[in-house]
Amino acid sequence: MAKETIMLCCAAGMSTSLLVKKMQDAAAAVGKDAEIFAVSASEADQQLETKNIDCVLLGPQVRYMESDFKKKLAGRKNGADIPLAIIDMRSYGMMDGKTVLAQADKLING
């Protein structure tokens, strides 16, 4: 079981797939044990019910869903909220897995 679980959400789960691969490569390069996966926004609820998620990153194209996700993530992690952020548009566009992984790490570890 991975030490950290990072879920990325976008409109269909497709556009973040390449970014997930880049993030997995960046994690492997530094020996980080993380499960990183992408889902469509409509699949997020199912994943939240079945996995112990440490943070959620929203693709820039679904930033309008931020308030809905904040409600979904409230109190889900041992009574605390699961951390949530919007992926920086530039990092997303460049498919910069290292930078987005660092964003997730900051959410998880402060």
- Residues with active-site annotation: 10
Give 33-54 as a DSSP string: -EEEEEEEGGGHHHHHHHS--S
User: Please, which residues have CB within 8 angstroms of residue 28's CB and are 6 or more apart in sequence?
Assistant: none
Segments in the chain forming alpha helices (H): 15-29, 44-50, 66-73, 89-93, 97-109
